[in-house]
């Protein structure tokens, strides 16, 4: 496995379900990110973890709950979502503090909330 | 307030032509300007990036032009190919801080 992987690639859930998105990075980076990508909108940063501690939380509703058990894994726990939460959820990683702090993205999870 | 404004939203170019995508920013603290390329079903991938100490950076057919005084930067794709058809995002950040992305440009290169 190389780069940043995400599972599942597609998820359909009802508003009362609980599910989790998983991200794994194989790049030895020290920071991981969750983004939401909706059509015709800029990528929206949701959460940032640096050295396994949450450093940013951009006013994301509490129905999204991140977890970073170690520097290689990142989860996004979902519960009681709304149809407007349907989007592509992207995970990224970077070596924070380095030159340019380039972010490397996974393929995303396409989430549909019914 | 959108930190990075990108245009056009979509672009159609003939094979062999030049594709130009523009971005503008407000925050003068930004010092890193990457461009990402995203194919359907894939995450964005870094294409090319520039810092404000240079006005131009070229990698193969891809060139970033940077105008610090105007707070604008653009991506030029020379000799555009059908395989370049994708969505392109500009972004801006300062070291250690979050990225701000543009809204994306959907490029279609017609054979």
Contact yes or no for B46/A104 (Cβ under 8 A): yes
| Pairwise CB contact (< 8 Å): B43 & A105 | yes
Task: State the Cα–Cα distance between residues B89 and B6, nearest whole angstrom.
Answer: 8
DSSP letter (8 states) at residue B88? E
Token code pair at residue A25:
């990075």
Q: Per-residue confidence at A1, pLDDT binned at 50, 70, 90?
A: low
Alpha carbon of A86: minimum distance to chain B alpha carbons (Å)? 15
pLDDT reading at A74 higher than 60: yes
Instruction: Tell me which chain A residue has its CA closest to the CA of residue B8.
Output: A40
Alpha-carbon distance B91 to B64, whole Å? 12
Residues contacting A62, CB < 8 A, separation 6+: none
Taking only the tens place, the pLDDT of each residue in A3-60 is 999 999 999 998 888 999 999 999 999 899 999 999 878 888 899 888 777 776 668 9
């Amino acid at each position: 496995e190389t780069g940043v992987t995400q599972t599942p690639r597609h998820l359909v859930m009802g508003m009362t379900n609980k599910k989790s998105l998983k991200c794994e990075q194989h790049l030895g980076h020290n920071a991981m990110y969750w983004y939401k990508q909706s059509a015709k909108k800029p990528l929206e940063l949701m959460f940032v973890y640096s050295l396994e501690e949450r450093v940013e939380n951009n006013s994301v509703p509490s129905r999204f709950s991140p977890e970073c058990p170690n520097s290689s894994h990142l989860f996004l726990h979902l519960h009681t979502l709304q149809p407007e939460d349907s989007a592509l959820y992207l995970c990224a990683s970077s070596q924070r503090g380095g030159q340019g702090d380039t972010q490397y993205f996974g393929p995303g999870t396409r989430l549909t909330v019914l | 307030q959108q930190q990075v404004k990108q245009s056009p939203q979509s672009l159609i170019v003939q094979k062999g032509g030049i594709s130009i995508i523009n971005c503008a920013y407000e925050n003068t603290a930004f010092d890193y300007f990457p461009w990402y390329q995203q194919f359907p079903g894939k995450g964005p991938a870094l294409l090319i990036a520039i810092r404000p100490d240079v006005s131009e950076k070229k990698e193969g057919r891809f060139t970033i032009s940077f105008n610090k005084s105007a707070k604008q930067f653009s991506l030029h794709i020379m000799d555009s190919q059908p395989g370049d058809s994708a969505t392109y995002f500009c972004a801006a950040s300062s070291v250690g801080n979050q990225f701000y992305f543009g809204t994306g440009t959907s490029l279609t290169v017609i054979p």
